[in-house]
A and B are shown apart, each in its own frame.
Chain A
Amino acid sequence: MSFLRIEGLTKEFDGYKAVNHVSLDIAKGEIFALLGSSGCGKSTLLRMLAGFETPTAGRIVLDGRDLAGLPPYERPINMMFQSYALFPHLTVWDNIAFGLKRDGLPRDRIAERVDAMLKLVQLGKFAKRKPHQLSGGQQQRVALARSLAKQPQLLLLDEPLGALDKKLREETQIELVNIIESVGVTCVMVTHDQEEAMTMASRIAVMSEGQFLQVGAPGDIYETPATRFVADFIGNVNLMDGTVVEDQPDHVVVECADCRHFVGHGITGTPGMAVTVALRPEKIHLTRQRPADEFNSAPGRIKELSYFGSFTVYHVVLASGALLKVSLANTQRHRDVEFTWGDEVWAHWSRTSHVVLTQ
């Protein structure tokens, strides 16, 4: 039994389908992320949930109740807006109380609830401040408290951490998830930041051109992307075009320009079919000697290397001229085997480290 059900939802703007026949089931208590680049329709979908856009077709059912025709102010849904949209003329306290006052709650109930919210986001000391007197992280917490104050059935987060700098974003991600989970509210978030989606969400929908390309847990989407687009969109990946030369239930062999891939999973395809092999940079190893396995290795020369501290990314030019990105963790302070510019190397990878994409 799904808590939020989206059925065939479509939104057209002047003949252009911003959201194109999308269906989705979200369970109670889930944190669900809509991930996509700008213009993919994720924000339009979120705005339809909030009630700011009217669907051209399709239904939104929340807890058994069709939301069609309900204006935003009558939906049991609250949203944390991108860059927060805090009321600049109201104090933190009044910002959080705004929604409660609209419900006509008695004054002491409001005070009780606001104080509980302030405590939840640890902003008790700042109740009398105006939003502009707060830091970005504090504003973000006020926005969260405001959107949780009415105990919504569904919480919407629009780029929740987009306005914070990198360091603060990482800390806040965990804190935000902890608060949402402690409250137990079902949550749909929109983000263009894949790290944000992966760390915060229990499931992710990758969106492009108004449609879901893949829906699944972060690990599934990363390790078994369904399409080239998803593989490329989530994380770094090496994509190699080739043809299937051997198709068995438990493995396939793909012939590419620079190597023969032995992939340890079956596909629904036929020999001779054109496919793409997706290989993550961190799953590749480098050696100076030729590996024993006739499959899954390719010789090349290091053209470029970027040192990131915890890992180093090598750009290896293969015989065909194709570029292979290899990421090696710097597990020792001084590596025994240091590769550097111009080194001739062999890149190799295991039989379970890559996937074959048929579309």
Chain B
Amino acid sequence: MNALLRLVAVLRRGRTYVIGTPYVWLLAFFLLPFLILVNYSVSEMETVHPRALVSIKDGVLQLSVKFANYLYIAQDDLYFKTYLASLKYATVTTLLCLVIGYPFAYFMARARSTLQPALLMLVMLPFWTSFLLRVYAWKGLLSPGGWVADVLVATGIDQLLAAAGLIAAPGKLMNTPFSLVLGMTYTYLPFMILPLFGNLSKMDLRLLEAAQDLGASPWVAFWKVTVPLSKAGIIAGSMLVFIPCVGEFVIPELLGGPETLMTGRVMWDEFFSNNDWPLASTLAVVMILLIIVPLAVFNKYQAEAQDRQGGRA
């Protein structure tokens, strides 16, 4: 009774609602759907609905948790390979976005302040066109006759790509790991640039002068000061690219080929072609767990950065 009164008192305080809002959001739109997925993944199916996990039959309380799906995806190396492929392509895309996005964000942040809004606009401009359309456009650009393909063939870069095994044969650019990673890098690059820009533009430039004053050349100062101080931006950008890339379905579907089978595609097949919802749910649950680990790392650094900022204020 006492505890109940205390709870009422806590709930009455307005700020509880404010603080509670994101939790309610997470509960309703992440945790509950996730639990439904988990439920599907460990249940026997009746015609369309999963059978209840707990049931009473002949006066016996039965708990039936079915691990068969998990065992199945653990045993069939198709799934293992698609996870691995997803992680691999997501990792490569993230690294490429970082390598391209970091200098991009760096020079944006160091550009004249009057120029910065325009540069920022240019980064976000692609979002004005449908994502599907932009990915589709690459099909045309990379197919024979597309000018990107023509340039790559004319310069002999396709030979290099073929030698590296990134495309099937010289001149055949579409539906290869190359076209997939190109499409994903192109699509997700802004998500890398924006947090990095936000971070780098806030940096105290006197720190670089201090580093130079103490004997660091600009190059050393960049690696010893700029990069460590932009760690939060690097991690935020990498997470924003990596996480959606792991489960990406549209880009592999449009630009990928037979050897770039990724989790998103397999999940789609299980859900909509095979109608095997329990197995599809199992795949989704495992994927979420795979993503939660890097996310936890991200949160840890974010908290540390927050702590640092809070301390400075």
Is the pairing of A and B real?
Answer: yes
Interface residues of A (CB under 8 A from B): 50-52, 71-74, 77-79, 81-82, 85-89, 98-99, 102-103, 130, 132-133, 146-147, 150
Interface size, chain B (Cβ < 8 Å): 21
Neighbouring A residues of B229 by C-beta, 8 Å: 88-89
Neighbouring A residues of B209 by C-beta, 8 Å: 50, 52, 72, 81, 85
Contact partner, A79, options B213, B216, B308, B311, Cβ 8 Å: B213
Nearest Cβ distance between residue B209 and chain A, in whole angstroms?
Answer: 6
- The closest CB in chain B to the CB of A98 belongs to B214
A99 to B206, CA, bound (A): 15
Nearest Cβ distance between residue A86 and chain B, in whole angstroms?
Answer: 8
A71 to B209, CA, bound (A): 11
Contact A102 B312 (CB under 8 A): no
Neighbouring B residues of A102 by C-beta, 8 Å: 214-216, 220
Contact partner, B308, options A85, A132, A147, A150, Cβ 8 Å: A132
- The closest CB in chain A to the CB of B227 belongs to A89
Contact partner, A89, options B213, B214, B215, B228, Cβ 8 Å: B228
Nearest Cβ distance between residue B211 and chain A, in whole angstroms?
Answer: 7
| Residue with the greatest number of chain A CB neighbours at <10 A, chosen from B215, B225, B229 | B215
Q: Does B217 contact A (CB under 8 A)?
A: yes
Q: Does B212 contact A (CB under 8 A)?
A: yes
A102 to B220, CA, bound (A): 9
- The closest CB in chain A to the CB of B209 belongs to A52
Q: Does B58 contact A (CB under 8 A)?
A: no
Contact B207 A85 (CB under 8 A): yes
Nearest Cβ distance between residue B312 and chain A, in whole angstroms?
Answer: 5
Contact A132 B214 (CB under 8 A): no
Contact partner, A73, options B206, B217, B228, Cβ 8 Å: B217
Neighbouring B residues of A146 by C-beta, 8 Å: 214
7 nearest CB pairs, A to B: A99-B214, A102-B215, A132-B311, A85-B210, A85-B206, A72-B212, A132-B312
A77 to B209, CA, bound (A): 13
Neighbouring B residues of A133 by C-beta, 8 Å: 311
Q: Does B46 contact A (CB under 8 A)?
A: no
Contact partner, A150, options B207, B211, B212, B215, Cβ 8 Å: B215
A339 to B211, CA, bound (A): 58
Q: Does B77 contact A (CB under 8 A)?
A: no
A51 to B213, CA, bound (A): 8
- The closest CB in chain A to the CB of B225 belongs to A87
Q: Does B204 contact A (CB under 8 A)?
A: yes
Q: List 22 A-B contacts (CB under 8 A).
A: A51-B212, A52-B209, A52-B212, A71-B212, A72-B212, A72-B213, A73-B212, A78-B214, A79-B213, A81-B213, A82-B206, A85-B206, A87-B210, A88-B207, A88-B229, A88-B308, A89-B228, A89-B229, A98-B224, A130-B308, A133-B311, A146-B214
Known: A87-B225, A130-B308, A132-B311. A73 touches B213 (CB 8 A): yes
Known: A79-B213, A102-B220. A85 touches B311 (CB 8 A): no
- The closest CB in chain A to the CB of B208 belongs to A85
| Residue with the greatest number of chain A CB neighbours at <10 A, chosen from B214, B215, B311 | B214
A139 to B263, CA, bound (A): 52
Contact A73 B225 (CB under 8 A): no
Neighbouring A residues of B224 by C-beta, 8 Å: 98
Neighbouring A residues of B214 by C-beta, 8 Å: 73, 78, 98-99, 102, 146, 150
- The closest CB in chain B to the CB of A97 belongs to B214
Scan B168-211; emit 1 where CB is below 8 A from any A CB, else 0: 00000000000000000000000000000000000010110111
A326 to B231, CA, bound (A): 59
Nearest Cβ distance between residue B70 and chain A, in whole angstroms?
Answer: 42
Contact A87 B220 (CB under 8 A): no
Neighbouring A residues of B217 by C-beta, 8 Å: 71, 73
Scan B238-256; emit 1 where CB is below 8 A from any A CB, else 0: 0000000000000000000
Contact B216 A73 (CB under 8 A): yes
A146 to B215, CA, bound (A): 12
Neighbouring A residues of B215 by C-beta, 8 Å: 73-74, 99, 102-103, 150
Identify which of residues 262-287 in chain B touch chain A, using a CB-to-CB cut-off of 8 Å. Answer: none
A87 to B312, CA, bound (A): 12
Q: A88-B229, A132-B311 are in contact. List 13 more A-B contacts (CB 8 A).
A: A50-B209, A72-B213, A73-B215, A73-B217, A78-B214, A81-B213, A87-B211, A89-B228, A99-B215, A130-B311, A146-B214, A147-B213, A150-B214
